[in-house]
């Protein structure tokens, strides 16, 4: 196992399967009345969030608590960050409190990586700017695998604001590692620079792609949020036009939204995913979001099990201060206390 989880590229296929398989066992805890495993008792996890979050922050918190760690949430709003403290000073301050793992979300790409230079504990990237969000890719793979079986040879289509999507970057890396084929679909203005070097095919034509006419039959479609807050509108909502990226929201929805008609283009077995938060009526219609094919809430639920597995693999068995991390051949905590 790697010491930190900053990118999906930190994992090899064996490491990714190890986390996904552990997450299957961790997920069983959801069915128990007492949702507690002792694996991380006496350890402290700090969630350091410089950006808004509902799912990621709360699922890391629940994951840590279900593994018996003490979990502390620090968010930029309400901390000394709002008084101008630098990322380095904030990270050093949190580290000085004696943390055993740091989960960080930050608007700058590369922030989690920088933090590893300043602190001694495992660092988990919970989203850095437009760069990566590896635990989201792991929970997406977990959710897809549950629905489709092994992902090797499966064709996953990812649609939307790819330029600003750390979810897309991590998913292309991880799905490729697991042997899946990925097609990215977006208007040219939202296709990332350098995408031709990525391990995927691309298209501007959503209808043809969903109908299997571009890169073959589709096994799942993942819709991504239009990230207005990264488009220089200065607004994270309110329906303002995303300046320069597409003419109007209505036109975006017509060209790239998952409408009921587009849902019907998909083969029957193909589910719909979205990492959330969803802009209903923009990238996804309510009919698609709430349809029986939607795995949106399965993804949220998977987030807890996958993050438990990630925390466990990075923290349990780590020799304090030695930098050695990962499992040490000891029985899996979920198995021991089943």
Touching ligand NCD, residues 131-150 (CB under 6 A):
133, 136
CA–CA gap between residue 177 and residue 7 (Å, rounded): 13
- Minimum CB separation of residue 161 from ligand NCD in Å reads 8
Burial of 20 (0-12, 13-18, 19+ CB in 10 A): buried
CA–CA gap between residue 101 and residue 253 (Å, rounded): 41
- Minimum CB separation of residue 279 from ligand NCD in Å reads 9
Please say which residue, 227 or 325, places its beta carbon nearer to ligand NCD: 227
- Minimum CB separation of residue 302 from ligand NCD in Å reads 11
Please say which residue, 160 or 271, places its beta carbon nearer to ligand NCD: 160
- Minimum CB separation of residue 186 from ligand NCD in Å reads 14
What tokens were used for 335?
């198995």
Cis status of the peptide bond prior to 296, with omega within 30 of 0: no
Please say which residue, 145 or 225, places its beta carbon nearer to ligand NCD: 225
In 4-154, where do the E strands start and end?
A: 44-49, 70-75, 101-106, 123-128
Spell 26-64 as b/e; 16+ CB within 10 A means b. Answer: bbebeeeeeeebebbeebbbbbbbbbebebbbebbbbbb
The only residue of 129, 212, 255, 276 in contact with ligand NCD, by rule CB under 6 A = 276
Residue where the block lists tokens 């697991």: 178
- Minimum CB separation of residue 299 from ligand NCD in Å reads 8
The only residue of 246, 275, 310, 311 in contact with ligand NCD, by rule CB under 6 A = 275
CA–CA gap between residue 247 and residue 296 (Å, rounded): 28
Query: What would the x/- binding string for ligand NCD be over residues 165 to 204, using CB under 6 A?
Result: -xx-------------------------------------
- Minimum CB separation of residue 241 from ligand NCD in Å reads 18
For residue 101, give the nearest of 16, 4, 181 by alpha carbon. Answer: 4
C-beta nearest to ligand NCD: residue: 225
Task: Give the contacts of 130 (CB within 8 A, at least 6 positions apart).
Answer: 109, 163, 164, 165, 166, 169, 230
Contacts 24+ apart (CB under 8 A), 70-74: 70/43, 70/44, 70/45, 71/44, 71/45, 71/46, 71/47, 72/44, 72/45, 72/46, 72/47, 72/97, 72/99, 73/46, 73/47, 73/49, 74/46, 74/47, 74/48, 74/49
Please say which residue, 9 or 95, places its beta carbon nearer to ligand NCD: 9
Please say which residue, 1 or 167, places its beta carbon nearer to ligand NCD: 167
- Minimum CB separation of residue 105 from ligand NCD in Å reads 7
- Minimum CB separation of residue 89 from ligand NCD in Å reads 25
Touching ligand NCD, residues 307-326 (CB under 6 A):
none
Q: Are 123 and 116 in contact (CB under 8 A)?
A: yes
The only residue of 225, 228, 307, 313 in contact with ligand NCD, by rule CB under 6 A = 225
Touching ligand NCD, residues 16-55 (CB under 6 A):
55
Please say which residue, 284 or 316, places its beta carbon nearer to ligand NCD: 284
Please say which residue, 29 or 137, places its beta carbon nearer to ligand NCD: 137
Please say which residue, 277 or 323, places its beta carbon nearer to ligand NCD: 277
80 alpha carbon, distance to own chain's centre? 27
Please say which residue, 166 or 332, places its beta carbon nearer to ligand NCD: 166
| 103 part of the interface to ligand NCD, by CB under 6 A | no
The only residue of 25, 47, 56, 209 in contact with ligand NCD, by rule CB under 6 A = 56
CA–CA gap between residue 289 and residue 39 (Å, rounded): 36
Footprint of ligand NCD (CB under 6 A): 55-56, 127, 133, 136, 166-167, 225, 227, 275-276
């Amino acid at each position: 196992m790697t010491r930190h989880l900053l990118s999906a590229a930190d994992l090899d296929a064996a490491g990714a399967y190890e986390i996904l398989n552990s997450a299957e066992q961790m997920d069983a805890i959801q069915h128990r009345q007492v949702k507690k495993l002792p694996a991380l008792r006496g350890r402290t996890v700090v969630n350091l969030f410089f950006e808004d979050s509902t799912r990621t922050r709360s699922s890391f918190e629940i994951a840590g608590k279900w593994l018996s760690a003490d979990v502390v949430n620090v968010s930029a709003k309400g901390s000394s960050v709002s008084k101008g403290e630098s990322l380095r000073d904030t990270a050093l301050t949190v580290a000085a409190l004696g943390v055993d793992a740091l989960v960080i979300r930050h608007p700058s790409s590369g922030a989690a990586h920088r933090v590893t230079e300043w602190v001694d504990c495992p660092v988990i990237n919970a989203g850095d700017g437009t760069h990566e969000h590896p635990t989201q890719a792991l929970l997406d793979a977990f959710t897809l695998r549950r629905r489709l079986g092994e992902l090797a040879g499966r064709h996953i289509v990812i649609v939307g604001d790819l330029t600003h999507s750390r979810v897309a970057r991590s998913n292309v890396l991880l799905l490729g590692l697991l042997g899946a084929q990925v097609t990215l679909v977006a208007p040219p203005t939202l296709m990332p620079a350098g995408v031709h070097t990525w391990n995927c095919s691309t298209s501007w034509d959503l209808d043809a792609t969903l109908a299997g006419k571009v890169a073959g039959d589709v096994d799942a479609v993942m819709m991504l949020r239009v990230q207005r807050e990264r488009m220089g509108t200065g607004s994270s909502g309110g329906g303002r036009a995303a300046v320069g990226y597409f003419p109007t929201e209505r036109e975006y929805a017509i060209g790239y939204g998952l409408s009921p008609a587009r849902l019907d283009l998909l083969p029957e077995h193909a589910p719909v995913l979205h990492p959330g938060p969803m802009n209903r009526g923009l990238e996804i219609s309510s009919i698609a979001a709430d349809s029986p094919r939607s795995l949106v809430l399965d993804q949220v639920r998977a987030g807890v099990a996958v993050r438990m597995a990630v925390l466990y693999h990075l923290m349990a068995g780590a020799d304090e201060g030695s930098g050695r991390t990962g499992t040490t051949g000891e029985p899996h905590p979920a198995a021991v206390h089943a």
